[in-house]
Structures are given as structure tokens and as C-alpha cells.
Amino acid sequence: MPSKEDLKHKAAEIIDAKADDLVTIAKTILKNPEPGFRELKTAKLVAEQFAALGMQPRNGLAITGVRADASGSSPGPTMAVLGELDSLIVGEHPHADPVTNAAHACGHHCQIAMMIGAAMALTNNDIVQNLAGRIAFMAVPAEEYIEIEFRDGLRQAGKIEFLGGKPEMVRLGEFDDVHLAMMLHTTSNPAEQQICISNTNNGSVAKRIQFIGRAAHAGGAPHLGINALNAAMMAMTAINFNRETFRDEDSIRVHPIITKGGEAVSAVPADVRMETFVRGRSLEALMDANAKVDRALRAGAMAVGADVKIQTIPGYMPLQQHKGMAEIFRANAVDLVGEDNVGYVNHRGGSTDMGDISHLMPVIHPYIGGAVGLSHGATYVIEDYSLAVIKGAKALAYMVIDMLGDNASQGNSIVGGQRPDMTIPEYLKFMRNLASEETFKGA
Amino acid sequence: MTTPNLSPKLSIEELKKRACETIDKRQKEIIDLAKQVLANPEAGFREFKTAQLVAQKFQELGIQHQDGLAVTGLKGRIPGGAGSGPTVAVIGELDSLVVTEHPHADPVTGAAHACGHHCQIGMMLGATMGLLTPEVISQLSGQIVPFAVPAEEFIEVEQRLEMRDQGKVEFLGGKQELIRLGEFDDIDIAMMCHTASDMGERKFAMGGTSNGHVVKFVRYTGVGAHAGSLPHRGVNALNAASFAIQAINSLRETHKADDTVRIHGIMTRGGAAVSAVPSDVRLEWRVRSATPNAVVENSIAVDRCFRAGALAVGAKVNITTIPGYLPMRHDTKLQDIFRRIAVDLVGESATLVMPARRNRGGSTDMGDLSHIMPACHPYTAGAVGPGHSSEYVITDYESAVINPAKIMAMVVIDLLADGAKQAKEVKSNHRPLLTKNAYVKFQRERAEVAEFDGAA
């Protein structure tokens, strides 16, 4: 029976041989960016690639998700290898879609390519025959929590319940039979070096807010109006007045945008809409900040005597990565890029729905370099596809080999060693309780 | 005191001339009185030295008087020698402001006459001297009440609330309190004259109106905590107050121009130490508007802003609303007498009559008095610099003290000579907007204390 090292060597050979194809896949997705729950072209490409590897992909999961499994030769845990399908919307990005402004400003196109690369290696008979358990390759939709209005429309139409791809896949049962999960995200931060082990990410809730005032001629009768824009401004001021109470270690982030700021400059704005996230490192800190934000929004309404509707939408759970898996991943990273090029970051302020999965099972969500520019900005592009896709694919494949090789001894030990924070029914209940709507009358 | 009727009957013009001659003769003494008050500025309900000076002068002039009215007020009484008739009050305000940077500020208290009230004491005593000219007083009917009144400036709210808690006052403005105490019950007509610095070439201005107002004492209670190591445990009362002030500013666009809304205040406590999250922050606020109804509307909106401040950060707020002043309603007939005399003294072109709706924006408790009796509150030149600022000083004491002393003396002569014919006309033509009892009831209804817990 070949050793794990032999299997990794074989995997690397396969991936290297397909390197050009994999980079082409990444660039094809880059040129066809699609935001969450709209990744139809990208999903089709994934399904074709999975089918070409002899797997039976299931499509249309949470609208656009694709899953294909490969079974090892003996029973064992199921490990999910995830790639995120969706782009952002950044109109100024050099690779933005001229019509939709969608753009891969967060490197997800590399995730799909590296996942396919790992699948090419791991579905190879010489490898999969020597693994226990199963590998679930999952192309997941809608990691970026954007277009909230559009997604809420999908929700109201009954097409989804949750607004993020992975929570929706969990709801649909796609993680019921999964025991371990991993993915690998690109990074442009030089401090994170070529491969970066990370620990935690912020959790989040999303809010849709509507301030309702009373319109009036802004020149002739402003005294008859109630200025909803002023209510929104005051609400933002109130949020800022609370920032000093946020602890450093809780990494609270509150960052609203105004999606409608008035109808016409000559009328007192009567309908002003805002979206915000509230993020925090622990659920407790997140819920505390969320309550303060709600209070601040009400204070904005009260300031001018407007009404405010606050809709709270479950976002993502804080990410907590499995330390044992991270150790194993780190050893592979050292093999791939050398000790000096492996970085570590303890906490990142952004949010990912991998956090939700991390409450249900052991997961890792490390980072790989190759990108430059500001993440989510127009300057974020992949410069080094060989690192971001090829070494990324190898890192994923090596990790699966470590977990499921040797009769899945390490995988079994990790699965048996950690009680997840929540069962899937508990998680779904928590998320459903988080969803709320209130109308506060400020007058 | 009664003045025997010794002299032959003089014409009204002759009486005025004699009164003015007395004032001219005693000009230096009258101006020195004003300057002595200037040198001893005292804020409202603390005007002890000033009251003592007035008492001493009343004694020298042989005027029977009461003192200690509404803490520091003095009310003289001079019966005319020509029988009974209406009583006319000539009012002077005792109190100073607090303007620490004023050149004449008290170095300890910061009190300063930045609104010219010292001249009012001078002119009130000067007019009295003129009226006490024996051949003048002997021909007047009714009574003259030279009235030194405390606390026109509505300031030091927290200290006055303490006086209220101690039962020393109920209303926090001097004339309000004197009305409540019944000290205006026996007065039929009231008059005073205020210095002004915005007169241009004019010597006198009359008419127009002033704002009504309510006063707020607002106290935010948060939770103190180390501002460096435990800010998350604190509730910042200063942020609550700052939010409220911004909320008030965000409402300004809703104010109607006709309402002359003025909403302004100061923070009397903004935190105890910079290293601690402020947990006790206090505001004194003023809500002024042209009509009592607009005052009520704006007061409600401002209270909502104060509550919103508490809600913004989860603090508690206690809002004490204190009855303020009513808009000034000049008696047109009384004002016309004043105007004609001013024209005689300084000429038509130096006399301005403002339209009744012209609102100067400020407030005076003479407005309260004007709701229950004929009253006027004209302005005299002589000051420079913005009112209530460190630059407000008197540069022309003849205009600021002597001229109005003469005019007020002559107005009293017009009112009370000839059997007090004109005073009786003013009285019978006047339709008071409120009775005294209705006034006291109205003001008591303005007083309230509201509490709101923004964390509840």
C-alpha cells in the first residue's frame, strides 16, 4: 500500500500535468463573473468538469450549487472540499462584466479551479483506491453577502430561506452526511505570505432598514415634513457614538450603506433605506453589538419623529477553525512553499459562511497567495496563478490524502475528537430565531 | 409719605420741565449710581449689594419701601399729592449676566453687566428723583412704584432649581415670581426701558415683540468606567447629550420663519475626568418661539431629541421643564405716550416704532407682565457690542440713563397728572390676555419632570 507521501507525489504529478487547463478554467470563470445565486455559467462549467472526471454531479443545489462525490475503497468519514462559485460586484474592476458589473475581486474563480484540480488528482484510481471514506466536491453559491434586496426577493419567492450559499446548502441537507470540510481562499496580503494558516473570522448579521418620514416641499413647507434622511444620518451618528464600547478583541464591525437617500432634492426625503452588517468575533459580542445598532436605529427615528423598520437577516457565524486540521495543513504548506513562506493570522474581520459550517463540524479555511490589490476592490487581481491555483489544488489534495489516507486514521481521530458546537437542527433553529422584523415609531 | 400741595397748579409741560431740570441737576449722581451697579455685578436672585444700594437711595429720597421681595426685589411707594388714582410702576432690573471675559466682570463670580441692567437701576432712580420734585409730585394723582426687580436673565438654572427645592422661589424669573407673590396685584401700569446697542442713529426704539420660551434642565446619567481599559462597561452620558444636540440641529429645517424659533443651550457638566467614561452630563437649554403654542410644539420636539440621545447609547435622561417667559405685548396707548415724549426729547428721526410682529428673538419676563396689565418695554441707545457678549458696554451714559430717566418721568406725569386722566384711559382701554390667577395656572402647567431610560 502506497504511503501518504507516495499518494501526494502522484497527486502533484497529475495536477502539474493539468496545470494549463486549470489556469484556463480559472481565467474562464474570471471572464464570466456571476454574483451569488446567479452563477449559472460557472455552475455549468463545474458540472461538466466533474462529469468529465467520471463523477455524477448533482446540480441546482441552492439554485446553483453543484456536488459530486468520489468514494474511497473502504468506509470512513466524508470530507467536503469546497469551492465558491460567486463573484462580487465591482464596476471598476478590470475584469468586471460590462453589463452586470460583476467581478472576481475576491479570487473565487481560483477556488473553483483548485477544487477541480484537487478532484482531478483525488479521483484518479491510484489515489482514490487508497483512501477511506468519501470526498464531496462542492461548488457552493453565494458566499459574498451582497444584493440583499435581490436575495430577499428569492427568499420571499420561496427559492431560498437563507441568503448565503452554505447556510442554504446546510438547510437542504447537503452537509448532513459530511464530517469534515475545507476550502482554501486567495489572499493579497503580503503579511500572510504564500500560504497562511488562520484561526477565526467575524460572524455577521445583515440588516435592511427603512426610515419612513413624511414628504413635503423642501423649500415651501419643510415644517410639514419629517426628514427620513436626517433620521438615517442620526442613526449612523448614534452607531458611531457606541463604537467606543466595542472591545478590540470582539472585532466588531458595523458598516452601513444607504441604498436610497431620497426621491428628489426638492422634497423632504420620506423613504430612506439602509443596509448594514454587524460583525463580531463571538456570537455573544455579535448579539450585543446588534442590540446596540438596533437601539441606535431607533434613536435616529426618534430624533426626528420618523418611523423605522428594521429587518434583521441571519448572516454568517463566526469562523473557528480546527486546530488539529490546521496543523496538518501547515505541514503540507511547508512542503509546498517552504517554512519561511508560511504565515499565520489569528483573526480576520471579514465574514464567511464557512463560519456556519465550522459550528457543525471540524473545518479549515486557510489562505493562499498569488493575489495583489485590495480585496473587494478594483485592484484585486491574481498575479500568480501557479501559486493561487496549482499549489492551491495540491494543498487541497494533500490535505484530503492526510485525512482519508491510511484508512482515514487522522480523519477519524479528528471527527471523533470534537463535538460540534451545534447540531444541524440546532443551527437552523438559531438562524431562524435570529431573523426578525420590527417597526419602531419615533414620534 | 404725603407731599403737601404747596405750589400753584402748573401745566403738564411745565411739570415735565421741572422734573427734567431735577434730573439734569442730579445727572452725575444718577450716572454714578449706574456705574456703581456696573462695578458690583450680581446675577439673578443674588443681587444683594445692588439691592442694598437701591434701599439706601430709597431711604435718602424718603421713599417708603419693602425689600426682600422674591429674594432681592425692592418696591417703593410714592403717593401723588393730588388724590387717588392708578398705580404706575417704573421698573429697573437688578441682575447682571455671567460673562467672565467682560471688561467689567467680577473676577470671582464672573458676573458682568453685559445687558445694561445697571443703567436701568440708574434711570429708575433718576426718573423717581425727577418725579419727587415737590411741585411735580404734588400735582400727580395715584401712586408711583419705583420697582427694583431681580433675575430677569434666565440663567444659572441648576442653582435656581435648588432655590426652588428649598422653597425660596417657585418661578425662576424675577417678575414671574413677583407676580405669583402678588406684588403686582396693586399695580395698574408697568413701564421700563432697556438699553440697546443696535440702534444706529436712533435714540429710542419701541414696539415689536419678544419670544416666549421654556427652559430645560437636562441630566444624563450613564455608567462611569475606565475610559482606557473598560470603555465597553461604560455608558457615555456625554455621547448621549452630543447626540441630542445633533438631533436638535437636524430639526432646524422644520422651524417656521414666523415662529422665530431659537433653541440653544449650554453644557454645565460634561464629565468628571477625561480618564473616565462620563456618567453625569448636564445641560441647560432654552426653547424660544414667537407664540406660546409654538413654544409647546418645539418643546415637545426637543424633549424627543433629549430622549433619543438617551436611546442612542442606552443612558438615562431626566428632563426638567421650567416655565419660561411669555412674548412681549406692548400696550399701544402706553407706547404711544412714550413715543410722543421721545419725539419731543430727541426728535422724530431718532425714534423708531417697530411693527408689532417684529420679534427681536430674545425673551423677557416683562412679556409675562404684559399679559396681565398694560406695559411697555422700549429700548434706549447708549450701548455698543452684541448683547450678552463681553463687548457689550455703555459708551453714552446720557443716552443710556439720563434720556430714559427723563422720558419715564414724563410718561408718569402724562399718565398721572390732570387727575390721572390718561392712566385711567390706558387702564380702561387695555384688555389683559390673562388674569393673574390664569397666568400662574398657565405657568404651573408648563412645569414638568420627565424621565426616560434609553436602555429599557
Cβ neighbour number for residue B390 with a 10 Å cutoff: 16
Say if A266 is an interface residue toward chain B (CB within 8 Å). Answer: no
Q: A275 has which bridge partners?
A: A208, A257
d(C-alpha B116, C-alpha A200), whole Å: 68
Contact between residue A210 and residue A308 where contact means Cβ atoms under 8 Å apart: yes
Measuring CA to CA, how many Å separate A294 from each of A149, A278, A283, A440? 19, 10, 16, 10
d(C-alpha A107, C-alpha A113), whole Å: 10
d(C-alpha A273, C-alpha A308), whole Å: 10
Pick left, alpha or beta for residue A22 (phi over 0 → left; psi -120 to 50 → alpha; otherwise beta): alpha
Residue-level pLDDT at A418: 73
Percent of chain A residues topping a pLDDT of 90: 93
User: Does the pLDDT value for residue B311 go beyond 90?
Assistant: yes
Identify which of B242, B255, B173 has the alpha carbon closest to the alpha carbon of residue B214.
B173
Residues of chain A contacting B236 with CB distance shorter than 8 Å:
241, 244-245
Residues of chain B contacting A268 with CB distance shorter than 8 Å:
253
Measuring CA to CA, how many Å separate A266 from each of A107, B164, B247? 43, 48, 22
Task: Name A307's Cβ contacts closer than 8 Å, sequence gap at least 6.
Answer: A211, A212, A213, A301, A439, A440, A441, A442, A443
Mean pLDDT of chain A: 96
- CB within 8 Å: A245 and B304: no
CATH architecture of A203-316+434-441: 2-Layer Sandwich (3.30)
- CB within 8 Å: B309 and A237: no
**Fold for domain B12-210+327-440?**
Aminopeptidase (3.40.630)
Which alpha helices (DSSP H) does A157-266 contain, by range?
A: 165-171, 228-242
Q: How far is B232 from chain A (nearest CA, A)?
A: 4
Residue-level pLDDT at A264: 87
Residues of chain B contacting A442 with CB distance shorter than 8 Å:
304, 308
Q: Between residues B7 and A372, which one has the greater pLDDT? A: A372
User: What are the tens digits of pLDDT across the range A97-148?
Assistant: 999 999 999 999 999 999 999 999 999 999 999 999 999 999 999 999 988 8
Contact between residue B455 and residue B315 where contact means Cβ atoms under 8 Å apart: yes
User: Does the pLDDT value for residue B347 go beyond 80?
Assistant: yes
Contact between residue A270 and residue A332 where contact means Cβ atoms under 8 Å apart: no
Beta pairing, strands B448-453 & B316-323: antiparallel
Task: Name A298's Cβ contacts closer than 8 Å, sequence gap at least 6.
Answer: A308, A310, A440, A442, B311
User: Does the pLDDT value for residue B6 go beyond 80?
Assistant: no
Residues of chain B contacting A237 with CB distance shorter than 8 Å:
243, 246, 312
Q: Which of B239, B253, B254 sits opposite A241 (nearest CB)?
A: B239
User: Does the pLDDT value for residue B5 go beyond 80?
Assistant: no
Residues of chain B contacting A290 with CB distance shorter than 8 Å:
none
Domain B212-324 has CATH 3.90.76.10: no
- CB within 8 Å: B242 and A241: yes
Say if A300 is an interface residue toward chain B (CB within 8 Å). Answer: yes
Residue in A with minimal Cα distance to B237? A241
Could you read off the pLDDT tens digit of each residue along chain A, which spans 443 residues? 899 999 999 999 999 999 999 999 999 999 999 999 999 999 999 999 999 999 999 999 999 999 999 999 999 999 999 999 999 999 999 999 999 999 999 999 999 999 999 999 999 999 999 999 999 999 999 999 988 889 989 999 999 999 999 999 999 999 999 999 999 999 999 999 999 999 999 999 999 999 999 999 988 899 999 999 999 999 999 999 999 999 999 999 999 988 899 988 889 999 999 999 999 999 999 999 999 999 999 999 999 999 999 999 999 999 999 999 999 999 999 999 999 999 999 999 889 999 999 999 999 999 999 999 999 999 999 999 999 999 999 999 999 999 999 999 999 999 999 789 999 999 999 999 999 999 999 99
CATH architecture of A4-200+319-428: 3-Layer(aba) Sandwich (3.40)
Residue-level pLDDT at A266: 87
Say if A391 is an interface residue toward chain B (CB within 8 Å). Answer: no
Beta pairing, strands B189-191 & B375-376: parallel
B221 — pLDDT class (breaks 50, 70, 90): very high
Average pLDDT over residues B248-272: 93
Residue-level pLDDT at B434: 97
pTM: 0.83
d(C-alpha B383, C-alpha A429), whole Å: 75
Residue in A with minimal Cα distance to B310? A299
User: Does the pLDDT value for residue B4 go beyond 70?
Assistant: no
Dmax (CA) for chain A in angstroms is 87
Residue in A with minimal Cα distance to B251? A304
Where in chain B are the domains?
A: 12-210+327-440, 212-324
Average pLDDT over residues B228-234: 91
Q: Locate cell 436638535: which residue? A: B248
Q: What is the ipTM of this complex?
A: 0.78
Identify which of B154, B151, B141, B150 has the alpha carbon closest to the alpha carbon of residue B189.
B141
Where in chain A are the domains?
A: 4-200+319-428, 203-316+434-441
Average pLDDT over residues B72-78: 98
Q: How far is B354 from chain A (nearest CA, A)?
A: 27
Number of Cβ pairs < 8 A linking chain A and chain B = 91
Contact between residue B331 and residue B376 where contact means Cβ atoms under 8 Å apart: yes
User: Does the pLDDT value for residue B47 go beyond 60?
Assistant: yes
Identify which of A225, A312, A329 has the alpha carbon closest to the alpha carbon of residue A274.
A312
Contact between residue A353 and residue A36 where contact means Cβ atoms under 8 Å apart: no
Q: Which of B234, B240, B256 sits opposite A245 (nearest CB)?
A: B234
Q: Is B196 helix (H, G, I), strand (E, B) or coil?
A: coil
User: Does the pLDDT value for residue B275 go beyond 90?
Assistant: no
User: What are the tens digits of pLDDT across the range A262-274?
Assistant: 988 889 999 999 9
- CB within 8 Å: A299 and B236: no
Average pLDDT over residues B432-438: 97
Average pLDDT over residues B40-52: 98
Say if A305 is an interface residue toward chain B (CB within 8 Å). Answer: yes
Residue in A with minimal Cα distance to B305? A303
Q: Locate cell 415737590: which residue? A: B134
Residues of chain B contacting A302 with CB distance shorter than 8 Å:
247, 304-305, 307-308, 311
User: Does the pLDDT value for residue B136 go beyond 90?
Assistant: yes
Q: Which of A230, A244, A246 sits opposite B250 (nearest CB)?
A: A230
Instruction: State the cell numbers at B305.
Output: 431629541
Most A CBs within 10 Å: which of B281, B293, B313, as the mutation test of the A interface?
A: B313
Residue-level pLDDT at B188: 98
DSSP state of B109: T
Residues of chain B contacting A226 with CB distance shorter than 8 Å:
254
- Chain A residues 135-154 with CB within 8 Å of chain B: none
User: What are the tens digits of pLDDT across the range A313-334?
Assistant: 999 999 999 999 999 999 999 9
Quote the strand ranges of B80-149, DSSP E: 87-93, 97-98, 111-112, 143-149
Q: How far is A247 from chain B (nearest CA, A)?
A: 6
Cα torsion A154, A160, A162, A164 to 10°: value is -80
